[in-house]
Amino acid sequence: MSGRDDRRVNDPLDLESLPGQARHVPDDDEENESPEATPEGPSADPEGRGKDDSEKLDQYLLRRYHLYGDRKAREQLITMYLPLVRSLARRYASRGEHFDDLVQVGAIGLIKAIDRFDLSRGVELTTYATPNIVGEIKRYFRDKGWSVRVPRGLQELNIRLNKVIDELVPKLQRSPTINELAEAANATPEEVLEALETSQAYNSVSLQASPNGESGEEDAGLIDYLGGEEEAYDTMEDRTTLAPGFAKLDKRERYILHLRFFEGLTQSQIAERVGISQMHVSRLIRRSLEKLREEIGDLDNPLPPRSSDDER
Amino acid sequence: MTENISLEVPATLSALSTVRMVLGGLGARLDFSLEDLDDLFLATDRLLEAALDTEHLDSLRVGVVVDGTTLRITAGAFGSDALREQVAVTPGGCIDLCILLRRLVDDVVVQEQDGSFSVLMVKHRSESPA
C-alpha cells in the first residue's frame, strides 16, 4: 500500500481528491455510441485518466469500504460499475425479460461481488464482478423459468402420475399414452398434460435427489443409481462442437446424453440401463442440455478469467 | 383428412409452454406415447430457444399439420446464418442442434424461401397402443 493511499484510508471522509474521482462514466446510450466502450468495465475518462488510475480508484474505494465500512465508497463503486452491468445484461436482453429488470438483477450480482471482494487476492474488481453479475442474471432466468409455484392439485396429480407411469411401463412394455395415464390417474387428458408440463418444464432435479423424488437423507441419490464411466462416450468430444460444453458436465450427465444422442437409446432403455424411471431420465436430459446451453452461451461471449472463489 | 393449426406466440421462453401444451393436446389425440411427446417437446424447445438466442424476433410462428398419426411442425421464418448452421446438415456434417433434433424427431427439413428459412420437424406415432 502506498503512503498516499495510507493517508487517504486513514481519512475515510476524504473522497474529494481521489485519482479519477471526477471521471466520466458512460451511460448506456453513450456506451452504445462509443466504439471504445467495452464490456470490461468503466472506461478511461476523457481527461486522460487511464486504466491504472481506474484500478487505483477501485482499490482505494474497496479498501475504504472493507477496512473502514465506508458506505459512500461502496455506493460509488456500484455507480461506477453500472455500465458494466448494463453491458452484460444486454447479452441476455433477447430472452424475453425487460432489460431494466436484468440490469437490476445484475446489479445485485455486482453488489455481492463488491461485498465479497477479497483485498488480499490482488484481483481486479472487474475480473471478480463479471462472473458474479452473469451468474446472478443466469440464476434469475433459472429461478423464473424452472421453479414456478404449482397449485397443490397439480402437485398431487404429478405425484400420482409418477407412480402410475412406473406401474404402467412394465405392464404395457412401452411408454403409456396420455389417455392411458389419464384413465389410470383418474384425471382428464388435459389435466395430465398440465401436470406433466409443470413437472417436466419447471422442475429441475438434482443428481443427489432420491429417485422417488424425495430428499430423505437415507435415500440413495440418483447419482448412485447411474452406471459407471464408459470409455466410449469420451470419444464424442471429437464428434461434436458441443465438446467445450460437455467438459462442464459431470461424467454421468455425459453418459446419459451419450446414450440418448449418440447411442440412440430411448428414454425407457436408458431408464432400464441405469435403474431410474423414464421421467427422471427425461428430467436429467433436459437439465444437462440446459447446462450445455448455458456453457455454450458463455463460450460465445467469453468472459474474463474467474478468480478461484467466485463459485457459489 | 389433414388439420392445420397456426400459432403465433411472443418471442419469450415462457411462451414455449403454450407451444408445448398445444403439441401435447394434439399428440394426445393421436395417441402419442409419453416418450414420443417428451421427445417432441424437447426438440421444439431446443429449436425455438436457439431461435430466440440467434434471431431478433418479436414473435415465434409455429404451424402444426395433423396428418393421420403424424405431426408436422413448422417453425419460422428465420433469417440468421447462425441458426441455419446449427440446424442444417452442412458440408462439415451434422453438429450440435442438428444431431439433437434428428435424434428426437423422425425427420428435419430446412425449407429455404426467399432468403429466409423455416424448419419442418416430422414426428410419427412410434407404435400403436394395444
Q: For position A298, what pLDDT does the model report?
A: 52
- Are domains A3-147 and A148-203 of this chain identical in fold? no
Q: Tell me, what's the pLDDT at B55? A: 85
Residue A95 has pLDDT above 60, yes or no: yes
C-alpha cell at A85: 452491468
CATH number of A148-203: 1.10.10.10
B17 CB neighbours in chain A (<8 A) are 197, 201
pLDDT at B56: 84
Alpha-carbon dihedral sign for residues A198, A199, A200, A202: positive
CATH no. of B3-124: 3.30.565.10
Cβ contact (<8 Å) for B10 and A96? yes
pLDDT at A217: 38
Query: Given this model, what pLDDT does residue A274 score?
Result: 81
Enumerate residues 6+ apart whose C-beta is below 8 A from A215. A209
ipTM score for this prediction: 0.83
The architecture in CATH of the region A3-147 reads Orthogonal Bundle (1.10)
Asked if B32 lies within 8 A of A178 by C-beta distance, the reply is: yes
Instruction: Give mean pLDDT, residues A13-25.
Output: 40
Domain regions of chain A by residue span: 3-147, 148-203, 221-312
Chain B residues with CB inside 8 Å of A181's CB? 34
**A46-60, A153-167, B94-108: least confidently modelled range:** A46-60
- pLDDT tens digit at each of 130 positions of chain B: 789 999 999 988 888 889 999 999 999 999 999 989 999 999 999 899 888 888 888 889 999 999 989 999 999 889 888 888 888 877 666 667 888 888 899 999 999 888 899 999 999 998 654 4
Domain at A221-312: CATH architecture: Orthogonal Bundle (1.10)
Is the predicted pLDDT of residue A252 greater than 50, yes or no? yes
- Say if residue B92 is exposed, middle or buried (CB neighbours under 10 Å; 0-12, 13-18, 19+): exposed
Does residue A247 register a pLDDT over 60? yes
* Mutation to test the A interface, candidates B14, B16, B21, B35, most A Cβ within 10 Å: B35
How do residues A259-311 score in pLDDT, each as one tens digit? 888 888 888 888 888 887 788 888 888 888 887 777 665 544 443 333 333 33
Extents of the domains making up chain B = 3-124
8 Å CB contact between B86 and B51: no
Residue A128: partners with Cβ closer than 8 Å, 6 or more residues away: A113, A117, A307, A310
Q: Which three cell numbers stand for residue A38?
A: 467495452
On average, the pLDDT of chain A sits at 68
d(CA A86, CA A52): 23
**Which amino acid, residue B78?**
F
The burial class, CB within 10 Å (0-12 / 13-18 / 19+), for A120 is exposed
Distance CA A26, CA A8 (A): 26
pLDDT at residue A231 tops 50: no
A282 at interface of B, judged by CB pairs closer than 8 A? yes
Measured between CB atoms, does A77 come within 8 Å of chain B? Answer: no
pLDDT at B117: 92
User: Measured between CB atoms, does A240 come within 8 Å of chain B?
Assistant: yes
> Which of helix, strand or coil describes residue A220?
coil
